[in-house]
Amino acid sequence: MRPYAFAGGTAVVTGAGSGIGEALTYGLAERGSHLVLVDQHADRLDRVRTVVLERHPEVRVTTVVADLSDHDATVALGTRLAAEHPGTTLLVNNAGVALAGDLAELELAELEWLLEVNLRAVVSLTHGLLPVLLANPGSHLVVVSSIFGIFAMPGQVPYVTAKFGVRGFAEALRHELAGRVGVTVVHPGGVATRIATDARAAARMDQAMFVRARERLGPLLSISPEDAAGAILRGVAARRPRVLIGWVSARVPDLLVRALPGSYARVLRLFAGSRFDLRNRR
């Protein structure tokens, strides 16, 4: 396929109110894309919209407040976006949530909440908008997974399950859509976004342990959202099938998992020490 053309197309971005989604929004506007921004926080969307219009008054910006944990509402949103924005040429499934705790500490409803946002919403919105993407030659789809969609972290079973899931979804869909719609799956490493500070603790998780886990995670998040967004947009432009963000936090673990698929956890523990298990049970 030819390089993706940003100018004049419409990009739908979920999780656009902060972090990578916000940085992607600014980068897309600079490249001439019209925008449909989805987030559950109206105040964040209003702020981002104001910034875009101040910088790029020629860009059309639509904001949609949506709770992607509501399955029926998300399915309806996909149908609505397809009907109201038939010029959509780029869908960026970026929204995500985090949940700390071992599986035994989780209520099933908590696990389902995370899977709804991080996995099922990706599938639902993609399914809803796919006819529009197919109808617009040169379209592209982005699915933001995680480095935890490549290797599995203790205490993150729901998150890992969702991120491995969206990785498989995107890769299979890439083969189905070959030559018609481009597909990029993104694996961010340590990007400094709100997902850690906004994370929930499992119902039966010790709160002191949860606080320690968040504190230990902070120093590992050293990549700016702007740098992450730049890497993603370059990947989209080049139709790259996969974008890894972060040498130490993404590329090195990826190589390690490829080399030692059954025993990489031992090496990661030696390399990262107790940071491999952010809960620090000791």
What are the catalytic residues?
A: 159
What residues does 183 pair with on adjacent strands? 141
Two tokens, residue 170: 């995107």
63: left (phi over 0), alpha (psi -120 to 50) or beta: beta
Helix, strand, coil shares of the chain, percent, nearest 5, are 50, 15, 30
DSSP string of 160-217, one letter each residue: HHHHHHHHHHHHHHHHHTTTTSEEEEEEE-SB--TTTTTPEEPTTS-HHHHHHHHHHH
How many Cβ atoms sit within 10 Å of the Cβ of residue 165? Answer: 18
Spatial distance between the Cα atoms of 64 and 95, rounded to a whole number of angstroms: 13
